[in-house]
Amino acid sequence: MSGRFRVKPSKSQSLVGMIAGLVFVVIGFSLMPMMGMFGIIWTLFALAIGGMHAYNFFSNRGVASWEIDVDSTNREGDFEARLRKLKRLKEDGLISENEFEKKRTEIMKSEW
């Protein structure tokens, strides 16, 4: 199976991130009077981080933290290896003819 898969943080990671974001927002509001523009930028970043984690926590869809590219260029070799292994199991008497045919059909369907 090839394609690009999105990976988002777990609910517990998102909860911790959301709480940490809220703590940094509070710190940012206390920094704003003393630090001026730095306090404003700090608070905006903390809001963005806390908001992203809150969205991940309360939503089933969420925002992906990583993307994984999967390339299955060796699929034909894998397909052939699975069929050969299945044939060996049948020849060694470890599976019956019915089990062999059933699994062979599954493998053939998964290839196409």
Sheet strands (E) in the chain: 3-7, 66-70
Task: Looking at the structure, tell me whether residues 10 and 61 fall in a common domain.
Answer: yes
pLDDT at residue 1 in the model: 53
Domain hosting 42: range is 3-70
**Residue 66, phi then psi, degrees to nearest 5:** -140, 155
Task: Looking at the structure, tell me whether residues 62 and 26 fall in a common domain.
Answer: yes
Instruction: Kindly report the pTM of this predicted structure.
Output: 0.55
Helices (H) and strands (E) in the chain, counts: 4, 2
Task: Looking at the structure, tell me whether residues 37 and 91 fall in a common domain.
Answer: no
pLDDT one-digit tens code per residue, 39-86: 899 999 999 999 999 999 998 888 887 888 776 555 556 788 888 999
Number of domains in the chain: 2
